[in-house]
Each structure stands twice: as structure tokens, then as C-alpha cells.
Amino acid sequence: MLEDKKKIRETVVLRKAQYNEQSLLELSAKALSYLEETAIFQKAKTILIYHSLKDEVHTHTFIEKWKEEKEILLPIVVGSDLKLRKYVDRKNITKGSFGIEEPAGEDIFDYDKIDLVIIPGIAFDKQGNRLGRGKGFYDRLLPKIKGFKIGICFSFQIFSQIPTESFDHKMDTVLTEKGLINEI
């Protein structure tokens, strides 16, 4: 199974290399535009999203756009776990583990108030299975959160089947620049 996961990760790296930064930004904007149109997003008051790395669906502009209307939470890496903090603005961001930009401030522990979770991944399948970077951060966090979970990626990151393990947490749906895999 580890070999299968490794092959999928290598395949995604090769596929991403076929796109330049501008193309990935345009695909990101399309995906996030679809997200904004969903009823689940429109109703959500508190959203857990991620501050994107260079090879993920770009969320920086999206976070800035919605920070006044929605409570935006971002994960931070603390040891082998993810903690959550409220995003206030760009001045409140520092570089954390793995080069991820993270908000300063107090940790948030009220997981029940999270309406919507937007989760990156290396790959997803149409059944909502997710392949991450292999550290298990989201696998440990997601069972604590009842909110609706949307995996987000580029369409070339969708596979027919992702190998899963007992601790993997399934998404409620997956979103790409082509729309939702399963309508909600």
C-alpha cells in the first residue's frame, strides 16, 4: 500500500509540473468560485481552511476576500498535531513548520462551531478518500470536527481509487476547478 501511495504522489508531481504558476492560480480561482456558489459555503459562519503552499489550490486571495464575512480558521502545526487559530489579517501571519504561513494568536478549541472544512490533499478519489502528504495531521484533526468536509484539489489530482487505511478520514465531497465530484 505504501508503494501505491508513493506512486500516486509521484504521478501528481509530474502532472503539476505540466502547469505554470499562472495556470494553477487560474484553476484555483475557478475551484474557489464553485465553492462560493454552494449553499453549504453560503450558510457557513465558521470555516476551517488552509493557507496554501505553492503546489496546492491557492487560498490566500480567497481568505482575504471572506475574512470580514466569515470566521476563518487556519491550522498551525504543533509537534505532530494541528491546532486551529483565527485568521485576522496578513500582518498576523508568520512562517511556521514546513514553510506554512500560520496566524499568531490563541488556539481555538471549539470544534463544534466549525460549519465547513476545506481540506487540501495530494490526491482524492470520487468516493471522497484523501491522500495527504503522509504525516497524518488531518487524520488526527478531522475526527474532532463535525462540520461538512470538502476536499479540494486540481482535477488532475483525482484518481479512480486511493488506497486507504483505517485511520483515514473520508471527505463529504471533493471540489476541483470543474466543480463538485458529488453534488451537495
> What is the C-alpha separation between 108 and 110, in angstroms, rounded?
6
Q: How confident is the model at residue 104 (pLDDT cuts 50, 70, 90)?
A: confident
| Radius of gyration from C-alpha coordinates of the chain | 15
pLDDT at 1: 53
DSSP 171: -
Question: Which class would CATH give 2-180?
Answer: alpha beta
Task: Look at the pTM and tell me if it is higher than 0.75.
Answer: yes
Q: What is the 3-state secondary structure (H, E, C) of 52-87?
A: CCCCCCCCHHHHHHHCCCCEEEEEEEECCEEEEEEC
Q: What is the pLDDT of residues 114-136, one digit of tens each?
A: 999 999 999 999 999 999 887 77
Q: What is the pLDDT of residues 39-72, one digit of tens each?
A: 999 999 999 999 998 889 999 999 999 999 999 9
The residues pairing with 116 across neighbouring beta strands, listed in sequence order, are 47, 148
Q: Which of 174, 146, 180, 181 is nearest to 38 (CA)?
A: 180
